């Protein structure tokens, strides 16, 4: 910490009236060492800031683009993953670099101006990274079991009842956004929540378990503007094993 280093720096007792050459040389060497330590502390702090905004990468899908057919087409999956998600990653990385530079310069106004872009693109990356793992090929589909199935039964009255609550909420999202099966961290109850644009589920105070993208790019090429048909179909490719793992972790 540079403040601690400065507090320890007594300028080599310059105020004690150094008179001999040996003491003066020692003083100069001590000054130089302290200056180097201060530079190192500042650089270490900068490196830490850069690590906090580390470069993000597009995650690989755990299945092929055509693996979710006929419920979600290969064309949609390829565009959605390789184009849309990649764009969120690229934009977030560019903004993160600019934010780090602005922070280093103390440009608070610029830092504030970039907040919405970081939230939007960072949220897009976070949300889609969950979404891909929440899905699986139809031939690997298995309904929820164990503790997750019990929690769904307790919170909604069963899987069918969950879908009847989830689908209307997702269909009612105005414009673009997401619908989530989420855990309330205090009550430990499952709830259906929605978010606008690319706002992460965490912005609602909930822990995301299952997210469904209701942006038109997630379904329009196949389902046109009939979002309810897409929502009905997506339940056939939900990876309940992944959802159960998230539930176990959130309730541990």
How many residues in total does the chain contain? 252
Q: Tell me what pLDDT residue 54 has.
A: 78
Cα separation, 206 vs 90, in Å, equals: 27
Q: Tell me what pLDDT residue 37 has.
A: 46
Q: Tell me what pLDDT residue 45 has.
A: 45
Task: Please list the residues that pair with 190 across neighbouring strands.
Answer: 183
What's the first-to-final CA gap in the chain, in angstroms? 36
* 109 token code pair: 């106004």
Cα separation, 230 vs 216, in Å, equals: 10
Task: Please list the residues that pair with 213 across neighbouring strands.
Answer: 178
Cα separation, 163 vs 153, in Å, equals: 12
Cα separation, 156 vs 71, in Å, equals: 25
Cα separation, 20 vs 15, in Å, equals: 14
The one-digit pLDDT tens for each residue of the chain (252 residues) are 434 333 333 333 333 333 344 444 444 444 444 444 434 444 444 444 444 567 999 999 999 999 999 999 999 999 999 999 999 999 999 999 999 999 999 999 999 999 999 999 999 999 999 999 999 999 999 999 999 999 999 999 999 999 999 999 999 999 999 999 999 999 999 999 999 999 999 999 999 999 999 999 999 999 999 999 999 999 999 999 999 999 999 999
Cα separation, 214 vs 186, in Å, equals: 27
Q: Tell me what pLDDT residue 83 has.
A: 98
Q: Decide the pairing of beta strands 190-196 and 177-183.
A: antiparallel
3-class SS letters over 73-142: CHHHHHHHHHHHHHHHHHHHHHHHHHHHHHHHHCCHHHHHHCHHHHHHHHHHHHHHHHHHHCECCHHHCC
Cα separation, 87 vs 53, in Å, equals: 17
Q: Tell me what pLDDT residue 17 has.
A: 37
The count of other CB atoms within 10 Å of the CB of residue 250 is: 16
Task: Please list the residues that pair with 181 across neighbouring strands.
Answer: 192, 210
């Amino acid at each position: 910490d540079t403040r601690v280093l400065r507090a320890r720096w007594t300028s080599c007792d310059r105020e004690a009236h150094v008179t001999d050459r040996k003491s003066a040389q020692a003083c100069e060497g001590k000054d130089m060492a302290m200056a180097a330590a201060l530079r190192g502390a500042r650089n270490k702090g900068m490196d830490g800031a850069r690590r906090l905004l580390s470069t993000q990468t597009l995650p690989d899908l755990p299945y092929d683009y055509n693996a979710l057919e006929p419920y979600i087409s290969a064309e949609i999956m390829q565009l959605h993953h390789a184009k849309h998600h990649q764009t969120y990653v690229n934009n977030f990385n560019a903004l993160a670099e600019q934010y780090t530079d602005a922070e280093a310069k103390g440009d608070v106004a610029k830092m504030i101006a970039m907040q919405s872009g970081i939230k939007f693109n960072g949220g897009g990356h976070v949300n889609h990274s969950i979404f891909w793992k929440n899905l699986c090929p139809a031939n690997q589909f298995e309904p929820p079991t164990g503790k997750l199935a019990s929690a769904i039964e307790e919170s909604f009255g069963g899987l069918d009842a969950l879908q009847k609550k989830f689908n209307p909420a997702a269909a009612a999202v105005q414009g673009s956004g997401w619908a989530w099966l989420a855990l309330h961290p205090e009550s430990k109850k499952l709830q259906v929540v929605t978010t606008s644009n690319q706002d992460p589920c965490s912005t609602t105070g909930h822990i995301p378990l299952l997210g469904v993208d209701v942006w038109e790019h997630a379904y329009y090429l196949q389902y046109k503007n009939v979002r309810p048909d897409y929502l009905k179909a997506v339940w056939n490719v939900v990876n309940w094993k992944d959802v159960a793992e998230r539930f176990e972790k959130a309730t541990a």
